[in-house]
């Protein structure tokens, strides 16, 4: 069994969720089953087809990432929610006091929130550069958009092991930061707290099938699929997520 086959098999077993592979040419976007949980932690529908971000992020990676990894975090969070007493709380409220809960809430709650956010950051035909108020703040904080790209890319590249790179708003200012594993800047246990504006998943499962160990190539590709309008809406508090 090669590494590609091992990953596909192992990921399915590891999450405890089975999703039948897509038939050739078949769009299975709307065929992922949603379990009838009553806790309110619902995996958002993927806003685009699995192959919509190609050639930058391949369809198979998107399918595994969404239907196994993200689905697994969602299922596990819902399983522990009643025992943790969080079934009626919002995910941002939980993240803000995550130190009060078990590692299962921290890990699965973080994975649930981070991926729901990440899918919104991406868009087919995205890229280019931001505009408006956001671009002005980028230029003021990082001198130029190109300098911002260099700094953000370096932060993502130097995350040790698995984790995330973030652009956050902290006390009205922009800041590039990173978190390990499935932590995020909303959590009360992280060093740099703030409102997430942009996120990049640098776990190997986000890129290994296409880029193998070349994380730098994946980061470079990421700049071609960013939804800057969504990020602008975050900055202007027009997005409720």
**Residue 159 exposed, middle or buried by CB count within 10 Å (0-12, 13-18, 19+):** middle
CATH of the domain at 169: 3.55.40.20
Q: Per the domain annotation, does 222 fall within a domain?
A: yes
Q: Per the domain annotation, does 167 fall within a domain?
A: yes
**Distance (Å, whole) CA 56 – CA 151:** 21
pLDDT of residue 38: 41
Q: Per the domain annotation, does 121 fall within a domain?
A: no
**Distance (Å, whole) CA 228 – CA 98:** 29
Name residue, tokens 């099938």. Answer: 209
**Distance (Å, whole) CA 35 – CA 37:** 6
Q: Is-contact 203 79, C-beta < 8 A?
A: no
pLDDT beyond 60 at 51: yes
pLDDT beyond 50 at 215: yes
Domain count, the chain: 1
pLDDT beyond 80 at 24: no
**Residue 178 exposed, middle or buried by CB count within 10 Å (0-12, 13-18, 19+):** buried
pLDDT of residue 18: 34
Q: Read off the pLDDT of each residue in 175-179 and give the average, rounded to a whole number.
A: 98
Name residue, tokens 């590891």. Answer: 14
**Distance (Å, whole) CA 114 – CA 45:** 14
**Of the ranges 29-33, 34-38, 105-109, the best mean pLDDT one:** 105-109
Alpha helices in 143-240 (DSSP H): 145-157, 208-211, 215-222, 228-235
Q: Per the domain annotation, does 2 fall within a domain?
A: no
Strands (E), the chain: 163-170, 173-180, 195-201
pLDDT of residue 239: 61
pLDDT beyond 60 at 40: yes
**Distance (Å, whole) CA 157 – CA 208:** 14
Q: Per the domain annotation, does 115 fall within a domain?
A: no
Q: Per the domain annotation, does 170 fall within a domain?
A: yes
Q: Per the domain annotation, does 85 fall within a domain?
A: no
Q: Per the domain annotation, does 163 fall within a domain?
A: yes
Least confident of 37-41, 133-137, 167-171: 37-41
**Distance (Å, whole) CA 13 – CA 7:** 10
pLDDT of residue 14: 40
pLDDT of residue 240: 55
Domain that holds residue 210: 132-235
pLDDT beyond 50 at 173: yes
Render pLDDT for 118-166 as a digit per residue (tens, 0 to 9).
Answer: 999 999 999 888 998 899 999 999 999 999 999 999 999 999 999 999 9
pLDDT beyond 80 at 67: yes
pLDDT beyond 90 at 22: no
pLDDT beyond 50 at 31: no
End-to-end CA distance of the chain: 41
Q: Read off the pLDDT of each residue in 186-206 and give the average, rounded to a whole number.
A: 97
């Amino acid at each position: 069994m090669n590494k590609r086959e091992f990953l596909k098999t192992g990921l399915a077993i590891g999450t405890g969720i089975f999703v039948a592979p897509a038939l050739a040419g078949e769009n299975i976007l709307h065929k992922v089953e949603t379990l009838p949980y009553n806790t309110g932690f619902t995996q958002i529908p993927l806003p685009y087809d699995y192959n919509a971000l190609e050639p930058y992020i391949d369809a198979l990676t998107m399918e595994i990432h969404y239907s196994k990894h993200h689905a697994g975090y969602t299922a596990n969070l819902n399983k522990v929610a009643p025992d943790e007493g969080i079934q009626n709380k919002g995910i941002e409220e939980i993240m803000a006091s995550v130190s009060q809960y078990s590692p299962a809430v921290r890990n699965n709650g973080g994975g649930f929130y981070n991926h729901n956010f990440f899918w919104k950051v991406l868009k087919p035909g995205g890229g280019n550069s931001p505009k408006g108020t956001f671009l002005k703040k980028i230029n003021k904080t990082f001198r130029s958009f190109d300098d911002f790209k260099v700094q953000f890319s370096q932060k993502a590249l130097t995350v040790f092991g698995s984790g995330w790179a973030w652009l956050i708003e902290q006390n009205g200012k922009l800041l590039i930061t990173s978190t390990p594993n499935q932590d995020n800047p909303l959590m009360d246990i992280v060093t740099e707290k703030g409102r997430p504006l942009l996120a990049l998943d640098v776990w190997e499962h986000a890129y290994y099938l296409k880029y193998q160990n070349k994380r730098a190539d994946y980061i470079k590709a990421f700049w071609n699929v960013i939804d800057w309008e969504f990020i602008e809406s975050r900055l202007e508090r027009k997005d409720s997520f």
